[in-house]
Amino acid sequence: MDAVTDLLLGFGTMMTLIVAIGAQNAFVLRQGIRREAVVRVVAVCALSDAILVAVGVAGFGAVVERFPAAITVAAVVGGLFLLGYGFLAARRALHPSALDAGTGTSSRPVLTALALTWLNPHVYLDTLLLLGSIAAGRWLFGVGAVTASITWFVALGFGARLLGPLFAKPRAWRVLDGLIAAVMITLGVVLIAGS
């Protein structure tokens, strides 16, 4: 297989995995609309994916397969975190506010992005096991996957600001937070029930 094909396969495979609506994407979208800590949140998500893809391509997936209890613990902890975040989003949906276009300086968005990434067992399944087994040491495949991750998070985080005028209305935030709450709570329940 040539280098360009490996790059494109890595890019395409990662895009099919990352574009699905999930907790991390919903959070990046919300931060992008609010224009709060977007650079830091996008950087955390993309860098985390790069680390996980590199570890997966290096063959760590085989180690994770030998210790399934680690995935179970991550599923329970991640599920509880998602439930908590989902209930906070539900509370925001019940008490919405207009868009605050100011840039936040709090570390909470970064910590939330870290938690939504590293406490999500699906991230490990996607990057360490699935991508790692497909790539099997093919580093250009991994470069393509990391490029897809960076492309996606930059587009999502910075493209979301185009929705700013729509979210100047409390009703739009109520809908978005209601959807985020539904996604987070559903994922949390599924993770805990499946562990």
CA dihedral (46, 16, 115, 57) positive or negative:
negative
Domain assignment present for 132: yes
Answer yes or no: is 183 within a domain. Answer: no
Structure token digits, residue 120: 């999500």
Collapsing DSSP to helix, strand or coil, 166 comes out as: helix
d(CA 33, CA 167): 7
pLDDT for 97 equals 57
Domain of residue 56, residue span = 3-66+98-170
The answer to whether residue 182 sits within a structural domain is: no
pLDDT value at 9 more than 70: yes
In a domain, 78, yes or no: no
What is the rounded average pLDDT of the residues 113-142? 82
pLDDT in tens, 141-176: 999 999 999 999 999 999 998 887 887 777 887 888
CB of 51 within 8 A of CB of 131? no
pLDDT for position 94: 86
The per-residue pLDDT for range 46-63, each reduced to its tens digit, is 999 999 999 888 876 666
Q: What pTM does this model have?
A: 0.75
How many Å separate Cα 82 from the centre of its chain? 12
Q: Let me know if residue 59 belongs to a domain.
A: yes
Residue 3 has pLDDT above 60, yes or no: yes
Angle 97-82-121 from CA coordinates, rounded to 5°: 145
Indicate whether 187 belongs to any domain. Answer: no
**Contact by Cβ (8 Å): 56, 129:** yes
Quick check: 106 pLDDT over 80?
no
Average pLDDT, the chain: 82
Q: Which alpha helices (DSSP H) does the chain contain, by range?
A: 3-18, 23-34, 38-57, 61-66, 68-94, 108-118, 121-124, 132-135, 139-159, 170-194
The residue with greater pLDDT, 88 or 1, is 88
Residue-wise pLDDT tens digits, 14-37: 888 787 767 888 899 889 998 999
What is the number of structural domains in the chain?
Answer: 1
Q: State percent of the chain over pLDDT 70.
A: 88
Statement: residue 129 has pLDDT above 80 = no
Domain assignment present for residue 28? The answer is yes
Task: State residue 1's pLDDT score.
Answer: 60
| Local structure of residue 106 (DSSP, 8 states) | -
